[in-house]
Structure 1
Amino acid sequence: MKGRKLLMIPGPIEFEPEVLHAMSIPTTSHVAADFITVFANSLELMRTVWKSPKGQPFIVSGTGTLAMDMAAANLIEKGDDVLVISTGYFGKRFKDILERYGANTTLLEAPLGEVVSLEVIEKELKTGSYKVLTFTHVDTSTGLLVDPKPIAHLAKKYNVLSILDGVCSVAGEEINQDEWELDVVLTASQKAIGVPPGLALLMASQKAMRVWENRKTPVSNYYADWTNWLPIMSAYEAGRPSYFGTPAVNLIVALETSLKIIVQEGMDTRVKRHQNLAKAFRAGIAALNLEILPKTNTIAAHTLSAVYYPKGIDGAALSAKMVADNVIIAGGLLPK
């Protein structure tokens, strides 16, 4: 690590040398034949990583927040009722985004360090008339892990669209989008996907696409509108040039590189590796008499660990000391 610092934050992460090399190649045209092939390959590789062979992938220049914004903009119309299941900062952010598009939101959140129970979720779905429910797979602010499968089952039972914020989980935690019938799974490039920041990545189910196609009002966000982006995705997959907004060419070349590495490892193997590493990391934390924020290991994420500062130690001072020793960690998002 001589001459550089070890990056130990949720994202950007430490990237594979092959990915960084892909970023450094001369930039080609976004309608060049070789780039069209790269883009098409990336879309198909996403289906493998998401385990969604029937899904519609989108690759758009932007952040994870844009991916959240795209899901809300395209699936929400004014007056729609939406259930937001929150385990931290980013659950509440989704609530704010949904309300920008006129949604009537209901927020369910558990005490800090816990997750909302399935019983509470089902009780709310029984009493309400919801079009959509959203939940965060792994919330960066708390390190809490939510099991998507039973929540997706409840969404199907009550005929509600399910949107999974997988910014901190896709390609690191277990996700079977088609099998679990999740309608939207979204993420960003800079975390477990393993590409520098700048790409919003989203997979929509056929059901979600039908809901979008049958909406009664135009999408009120021009840049996020699938009306503009779907023809681009379709054209690239068909091997044809197309244009709406100039894509982040080098990032997408890097995306294809990283997705190939991920697929070569195999999703089941990759998820198991994250689980084993997280288990070992938490054992090390416990051996130092430190505590993690999740109340139990069963709801602790495998893609990041939220660790309390040692009692009686100033967090800012500790972080500064670690930076001086060439290790960078992330400070907390939640004041409490």
Structure 2
Amino acid sequence: MKTYPVNETHRLQTRQLNMPPRLLLGPGPSNAHPRVLQAISNRQVGHLDPSFITVMNEIQEMLRYTWQTSNPFTLPVSGTGSAAMEATLANLVEPGDVVLVGVIGYFGERLVDMAGRYGADVRRVERPWGEVLSLDDISQALNEHKPAILALVHAETSTGALQPMEGVAELCRAHNCLLLIDTVTSLATTPIFLDEWGVDAAYSCSQKGLSCPPGASPFSLSERALAKLDRRQGKVPNWYLDMTTLANYWDGRTRSYHHTAPINSMYALREGLRLVVEEGLNERWARHQANAELFWEGLSAMGLSCHVKDPALRIPALTTVSVPDGVDAKAVAGQLLNEYNIEVAGGFGQLAGKVWRVGLMGFNSRKENITLLLAALKEIL
């Protein structure tokens, strides 16, 4: 065999990795809990090793608790939250299906885009960024469009608005429509009751309320959603996210190979869920709400206001702070990062330059972080 000289052009000799100690108070990721970081460093085993199968079973059961569901088909997708989002649409949407999307911000727009890529006839029901849909809005849209699926963002990360869910499933049942919700920013931070709310499909992520690195994302389907999946006329058009084949890996009976799972990310997710179980959902939800209110009070004392005016419609884990007139939002965020090692995010889309997005999620929802951020903002402004 012919040999070639090695090209040394890109042989970069670099230093050992040492990242800055950022306090991640943006919309995600949040700082991982120390116990999660310890868990992720555990020894690898094979993805079909009996000890890892135990980890898989524990993750599934704790996810059911965290989401308040008994759905057997509840598992983590190997990928970030956007992969779990795509998995819901890839599996449930067939070409020509009418999919009604509630658009109250950027992530509603993403659902529109994804559903369209899978051949859906996408319809929209929308409100201005920072507002939420009323039951009347949803009822009228269901009557008009007769969708197969209604997709709503429970916690719209781009605006800080929390979409009320009570009563939505009853409207969907009356129209023989599946209810799909995005819980990326609300899982483990805000009350969620998938079964009581009649939710048929849900997804989330690991790097926000669960205080883990991104990479393993919760996903759940109800029996009604599985029945639609079983009735598909063609294959799921995304091999990696096809739950008809992936189920054989997560099913407790077969455990047949599908793909190599991100073993250490699953360790991290297991530990993040253990922290939720130890604290208890009621206590965890109350902590996020109390800390959010403390932050809002501190903002008010500084003369700053929230973009979402009604406190009952704000996400406890994510606050959009209105940027005062004459203030450069990007410059302030840059100063927080460079001088205080605090990350917050600006707005985008319709809210570009108009808000800062501040996350108090999971491990980061602590009073000392609120005090530090308010003090730094006051100093800068």
Question: What TM-score, normalized by structure 2, do the two folds share?
Answer: 0.84
- % identical equivalent positions: 35
* CA deviation map 1:109-148 (0-9, x unaligned): 1123211221111011122221000000111110000012
Does the CA-based 8 Å contact 1:32-1:241 persist in structure 2? no
Name the counterpart of 1:8.
25
Name the counterpart of 1:208.
225
- Would you say 1:21 and 2:63 are equivalent positions? no
User: Which residue identity is paired with 1:288?
Assistant: M
Name the counterpart of 2:355.
none
**Which of 248, 251, 254 is the equivalent residue of 2:268?**
254
Does the CA-based 8 Å contact 2:154-2:163 persist in structure 1? yes
User: Which residue identity is paired with 2:90?
Assistant: A
Q: Which has the higher contact order (CA 8 A, sep 6+)?
A: 1
CA distance in 1, matches of 2:68, 2:59: 14
Does the CA-based 8 Å contact 2:105-2:130 persist in structure 1? no
- Would you say 1:292 and 2:289 are equivalent positions? no
Say if 1:309 and 1:253 are closer, same or farther in 2 by CA, change over 3 A: same
User: Which residue identity is paired with 1:126?
Assistant: N
Name the counterpart of 2:346.
331
CA distance in 1, matches of 2:130, 2:225: 32
Runs (5+) with no aligned partner, structure 2: 1-19, 352-381
Does the CA-based 8 Å contact 1:60-1:247 persist in structure 2? no
CA drift at 1:26: 2.2
**Which of 276, 280, 290 is the equivalent residue of 1:266?**
280
CA distance in 2, matches of 1:281, 1:220: 45
**Which of 132, 136, 142 is the equivalent residue of 1:119?**
136
- Would you say 1:156 and 2:170 are equivalent positions? no
The 10-residue stretch of structure 1 (160-169 or 262-271) with the greater mean CA deviation from structure 2:
262-271
CA distance in 1, matches of 2:242, 2:96: 19
The 10-residue stretch of structure 1 (8-17 or 85-94) with the greater mean CA deviation from structure 2:
8-17
CA drift at 1:241: 4.6
CA distance in 2, matches of 1:182, 1:41: 22
CA distance in 2, matches of 1:14, 1:329: 12
Question: What TM-score, normalized by structure 1, do the two folds share?
Answer: 0.95
Q: Secondary structure at the match of 2:256?
A: coil
CA distance in 2, matches of 1:309, 1:27: 46
CA distance in 2, matches of 1:242, 1:261: 30
Say if 1:183 and 1:194 are closer, same or farther in 2 by CA, change over 3 A: same
Q: Secondary structure at the match of 1:108?
A: strand
User: Which residue identity is paired with 2:70?
Assistant: P
CA distance in 1, matches of 2:132, 2:195: 24
Say if 1:211 and 1:310 are closer, same or farther in 2 by CA, change over 3 A: same
* CA deviation map 1:208-235 (0-9, x unaligned): 111101112211111111122111110x
**Which of 276, 283, 290 is the equivalent residue of 1:276?**
290
The 10-residue stretch of structure 1 (291-300 or 150-159) with the greater mean CA deviation from structure 2:
150-159
Q: Secondary structure at the match of 1:203?
A: strand
Runs (5+) with no aligned partner, structure 1: none
CA distance in 1, matches of 2:346, 2:234: 41
**Which of 29, 39, 62 is the equivalent residue of 2:79?**
62
Does the CA-based 8 Å contact 2:189-2:317 persist in structure 1? yes
CA distance in 2, matches of 1:166, 1:296: 20
User: Which residue identity is paired with 1:328?
Assistant: E
Say if 1:311 and 1:66 are closer, same or farther in 2 by CA, change over 3 A: same
* CA deviation map 1:28-68 (0-9, x unaligned): 22122211111111011111111112341122211111111
**Which of 114, 121, 126 is the equivalent residue of 1:104?**
121
Name the count of aligned residue pairs: 331
Name the counterpart of 1:306.
320
Say if 1:153 and 1:278 are closer, same or farther in 2 by CA, change over 3 A: farther
Say if 1:77 and 1:241 are closer, same or farther in 2 by CA, change over 3 A: closer
